[in-house]
Chains A and B, each alone.
Chain A
Amino acid sequence: MALRPHLLCLALPLTLLAVSPAFADEGEWVPPVRHAETLKECGECHMAFQPALLPAGSWRAIMGNLSDHFGEDASLPAATAASIEHYLVAGAGRGDPALLRITEQRWWRHEHDFSPSRFTRPEVRSKINCAACHKGADQGFYEDD
């Protein structure tokens, strides 16, 4: 029996919520984002960062203050924000929950211990453009350093 497409549309995001192991690793690979709302809404302004790149406390703080998202208004309807927060927290990694920026986490600073001028190159522009250097960043690959 074929499943009706609209049932799959509903079931799939729920299934995908369950497949992200909650570990942040030593900087090589993290499970890629497989949640449509996260990809769309976060990805509108920057790469949709993988859940494992921040601890749960950081994700909760970020999602609780979208109207001032590092100086930008990133407000979302409450239901959308809740869905994204649930996904991010479910796949959260390790780190200091008092630090909200991935680039402030100790592991990140350790991995990027080089001249700040690298980040101001035109093709990089900002520390949050992971993919400028890590070509597979949007798929969770960061081992190419």
Chain B
Amino acid sequence: MKKISPLLLLFLICAAVPASAAGNEAARKDILDGYAAAAGPGFAGFSAERGRPLFLGPHAGGKPETPACATCHTPDPRAVGHHYRTGRDIPPMAVSQTPDRFTSLAEVEKRFGRDCPAVLGRDCTPLEKGDFITYLSGQ
């Protein structure tokens, strides 16, 4: 075990290249720009006011155990959430608490791809995704 720990440490450093706050901000903007482009011709900007009820729910159509994002993440986006079945901690959704939230498109799409069907019973639209990120970026 001792032998591999320096290597492991190096790997962790490689895996977690510390991104600057400006880098995080730029990465979030790129993701939002992508959703804006996908939102269609009527698009007039994302809205934290629309994102908030999307987060808080409750919604119908998804799994009965998870009627809202807030079911696991709690109604306070700055709080640590808990997986509804396993109890596993979920770092806060609020960007103020988790600065690298919404900075990897692959990660963001993975979570929307799983969680929108679980909560809403359908995929989220690009507009909803942008509203959601916009709301939590201000929290």
Contact = CB atoms under 8 A, between A and B. Distances in A.
Interface SS majority for chain B: helix
Contacts of B15: 9, 36
Contacts of A46: 83, 86, 88
Interface string A33-48: 0101000000011110
B29 interface: no
Nearest to B3: A19
Interface residues on B, range: 10 to 19
Contact of A12 (B11, B83, B117): B11
A77 interface: yes
B121 interface: no
Contacts of B2: none
Contact of A19 (B4, B106, B117): B4
A38 to B, nearest CB: 13
A128 B4 CA distance: 28
B21 interface: no
A76 B106 CA distance: 10
Interface SS majority for chain A: loop
Contacts of A12: 7-8, 10-11, 14
A45 B11 contact: no
A76 B110 contact: yes
Contacts of A73: 113-114, 117-118
